[in-house]
Structure 1
C-alpha cells in the first residue's frame, strides 16, 4: 500500500476502495445464512430452519471472539502503521503475532465446546424437544470449522492494510458460491437438513481462507505470519479495543435468545420461524450498515494516527449519510414488499406468513435509527475509544433490548416483541449524540493545540 494513500486520497475514492468492498463482503456473508434458510425452508422444513436460528447464539459466540481480536487488531495496526516509523513497523508485527495466537486459542476452545457439549448448548439456547436434535447436529458440525472461520476474517481484514482491500471481497464471493453448491448437494440431494447447512457453511469458509491467507504468507509484507513476538501487553490493548465488537456479537446472541424465548411462549415454533425469516431479511441491510462501519475503520484509524482529524470527521459524516439512506430504503421495502419477500422462505403456511408480515412492519422502524448507532460504535473502535464503543453496542443490543423485552410485551403482547428493537435504537441514539459531541470537542482541542504549536515553532 502506498504510504500516503489513506492520507491524501479523495474521500469518495477511498470509500470506493475500502468501504464498497467491505459492504459487499458483509452482505455476501449474510447472504450465506439466507441461502441456508431458503434451502432449508423449501427442501427440508420450517422446523429445520428454526433449528438453525436457535443455534445463532453459538455462531455469534464464534464471530464475537473473532471480531474482538480482528477489529481490535486492525484498529491498533492502522494507528501504529500511520505513525510511519521503523519502530512502529516492528510493533505492528508483534501486534499481529499476538492476535494470531490468541485467536487460535479461542477457536480451539469454542471448537471443543461445540463438539462435546452441543446438546447442552442447544437446550440452553432454547431448543425444545422438536428442535433439539437438529440444533445439536448443526452446532457439532459447525464447530469443526471454527479455526477456518476465524482465520479467514483475520487475514482478510489485515490484507486491507497491506494494500489489498478487495481480497476479503473475493474470499466472500468464493464462500457464497461454495455455500450455494454445498447447500444444493447436502440439503436438496442428500437430505441432510440442518447438518447439511452446517457442512455447507463450514466448507465455504475453508475455501475463503485459501484466498485470504496468501498475502500473509509473503515475507516481504510488513505484517506476515513469520515475524513478530507474542506480547501480552499488546494483546491486552488489542482485546480491549475490540471489546465493543464482542459486545455486539454477545448482544446479537442475547437478542436472538430473548426473541426466540418470547416468541416460543406466544406462538410456539411458528413464532420462531417467523422471526427467523424477518431476521434473514433485516440482516441484509444490517450487514450493509456494518460493512460501512467496518470499511471506514482502516481509513479512520490510519488518519487519526497520522493526525489528520479534519479527514476523520469527513469520513464519519459520509458514513452516517450512507447508512441513513440504507435505513430509509429497507424501511420502505419492508413496508411495501414484505409479503413476497417472506413468501420466498415460507410457503403454504398462511398463519406464519401473516405473523411475519405484521412483525416486519413494526420491526422496520429500527432501520431509521440503527445505521447511526452502528457507525458511531465502529468509529469509536477505530479511534481506540473502547469504552465508548462498548457502551453504544451494549446499549442497543443488551441494556435497552432487555428493558424493552421486559416491558413492551406486557403492554402490547406479541407486537411488543417486534417493537423492542426500535425502542432500543431510539435510546441508543441519544447516548451516541452525547458521546460524539464529547469526542468532537476533544478533537477540536487537539487541532487548536497543534496549530498553536506550529505557530510557536515558526
Structure 2
C-alpha cells in the first residue's frame, strides 16, 4: 500500500511542476472515478485474502483456489465495465464530479486515457493480496517498487520530455499499473504458489462471501472517493480552483500516510486470518496489539512530520508563481494532520474484524469514518467556521470513529474471554 501511495506522489510531483496547479486540481477531481474501481478491487482482494488465509490454515487448497479464481473474475469483469464507461462518457463524468468549464477538458482527458488501463489496476490489486497470503510479500513489494520506478521514468518521458500534459500523466500511471500486473502474474503462471489463476472457476456463493467480507475495507476506499468528491464540490464553491489544487496537495500527504497504516494492517490481517483458522487466539491478540501500537507510533510520526515540514514538502509539487496555493495548502495540512493521531486505531480495528470474518463491525467503522461523519462535517462545519471548518472535518470524523472502534474491540474481547472461560474444563 505504501508503494501505491508513492505512485500517487510521483504523479503529483510531475503534474504540479511541469503542468501546473489546474492540472493538479483536475487529477483530484477525476480521482473519485478510479477510486470506486480501486475500492471494488480492495473489497475483492481483502475478502479473498481473508477467505484464502482461513482455507489454507485449514489445509483446504481447493477451496482457497476457488476463492482466488472467483476474485479475479469479479475484479476483471467490473474493471472492463469501468473502462467502457470511461471511454464512452468522459465529459459527463467530469461534469458530474464537479469540473467547471475551465477544468472539464483536462478532467475528461485524464479519465479517458487512464480508463484504458483500469483492468490491469484491478487484477494487480487482487494478485497483490494473493501473493501476501501465500507468504510472498517481498515479491509483491518488489513488483510495486518496479512499478513506482517505471512510473517515474514514464512521467519524465511523457510529461517532461514529450510535453503530453495531463494525457501523459494518465498514460504514465496506466503503464505503471500494467507493469505491476505482469510482475504480479508471474508467480501464479509459473507454479511458484499453490494458487492458480486461470481454471475459470467461478462460485457465486464464494463471490458473495468475498464481497460481504471485504466490504468494510472497500467502504474505506469508497469513503476516500466520497470525501474527495465532497471536498472538491465544497472548495469549488468557497474558494474555486485554488482550493481544489490545495486539497490535492494535502491529499498527497494524507494518502501516503494512510497507505503506510493500511500496509501495516494488511500485513497483520494475513497473520490474524491464518491463526483464526487454526484457533491460535493468543497469537491473534498479539498481532492486533502490535498493529494498534505500531499504527499509533506511525501516526504520531506523520503528525510531527506534517507540522514540521509541510511547507517544504508541498512546495516540491508546485512551480514558481503559486505562493497563494502553497500558503493555503500548508494551513490546511496542519489542521488535517490531527487525523493521524487516531486513524491508526480505526484502520487496525476494521482490518481485524475483516480478518476474523466479522464484517458487520468493520463496515460500521468504515461507514462512520469514511461517509457518515464526513458528510455531516463538510455540510455543517464550513457554515460555522468557514474554510477552517473544511480542514477539521476529517480529524473530527476520525476522532468520533476512534471512540466507536475502541468500544467494539472492548466488547469483542470481553465476549471472547467469557466464551473461553466457559470452554475450560472444570478442575
Specify the TM-score bucket, using the shorter chain as the normaliser. Answer: over 0.9
Once the two structures are superposed, the pairs formed by residues 25-64 of structure 1 within 5 Å of their partners are 26-64=1-39
Structure 1 residues 219 and 336 mapped into 2: Cα distance closer, same or farther (>3 Å)?
closer
Mapping for residues 53-452 of structure 1, pairs under 5 Å = 53-84=28-59, 88-219=60-191, 221-227=193-199, 229-346=201-318, 347-452=320-425
**Structure 1 residue 446 displacement after superposition:** 4.0
Mapped partners of 1:444, 1:269: distance in 2: 54
Separation in 1 of the partners of 2:423 and 2:158?
Answer: 61
| d(CA) in 2 for partners of 1:96, 1:36 | 31
Question: Displacement of 1:228 after TM fit?
Answer: 7.0
Secondary structure of residue in 2 paired with 1:242: helix
Rate the CA distance shift 1:216–1:450 in 2: closer, same or farther, 3 A. farther
Shift, 1:227, TM fit:
4.3
Query: Matches of 2:50 and 2:391 in 1, distance apart?
Result: 34
| Deviates most, 40-49 or 159-168 | 159-168
Given that 1:93 and 1:227 are in contact with CA atoms closer than 8 Å, whether structure 2 keeps it comes out as no
Q: What are the superposed Cα offsets for residues 262-292 of structure 1, whole Å, 9 maximum, x if unpaired?
A: 1111111001111111111121211100111
* Cα distance in 2 between the residues matched to 1:318 and 1:89: 29
Offset, 1:294: 1.1
- Cα separation, 2, equivalents of 1:141 and 1:280: 21
Cα deviation 1:423-453 (Å, max 9, x = unaligned):
101110111111111221232244334443x
Supply the distance in 2 between the matched residues of 1:105 and 1:446 (Cα, whole angstroms): 42
Do the aligned partners of 1:217 and 1:225 also contact (CA within 8 Å) in 2?
yes
Report SS of the residue matched to 2:239.
Answer: helix
Structure-2 separation of matches of 1:188 and 1:228: 43
Structure 1 residues 55-99: Cα deviation after superposition (integer angstroms, max 9, x where no partner): 110121121111111000000111111112xxx222112112221
Distance in 2 (CA, whole Å) between partners of 1:76 and 1:187 is 42
Separation in structure 1 between the aligned mates of residue 204 and residue 331 of structure 2, nearest angstrom: 50
Cα distance in 1, alignment partners of residues 31 and 133 from structure 2 = 30
Point out where structure 2 has 5 or more consecutive residues left out of the alignment.
Answer: none
Alpha-carbon displacement from aligned partner over 1:311-370 (angstroms, at most 9, x marks no partner)? 101101101111111111111121122211121112322221111111111111111111
Q: CA deviation at 1:383?
A: 0.9
Aligned length: 426
Deviation at 1:160, TM superposition (A): 2.0
Change (3 A) 1:427 1:235: same
What is the deviation of 1:35?
Answer: 1.1
**How far, CA to CA, are the matches of 1:197 and 1:228 in structure 2?**
34
Q: In the aligned structure 2, how far is the partner of 1:40 from the partner of 1:161?
A: 35
- Conserved? CA contact 1:69–1:242, under 8 Å: yes
Aligned equivalents of 2:15, 2:194: Cα separation in 1:
44
3-state SS in 2 of match to 1:257: helix
Q: TM-score, normalised by structure 2?
A: 0.97
**Is the Cα–Cα contact under 8 Å of residues 174 and 208 in structure 1 kept in the other structure?**
yes
SS of residue matched to 2:354 = helix
The one-character-per-residue Cα deviations of 1:233-262 (angstroms, maximum 9, x if unpaired) are 111111100111221111111100111111
- Root mean square deviation, CA, Å: 1.5
For normalisation by structure 1, the TM-score amounts to: 0.90
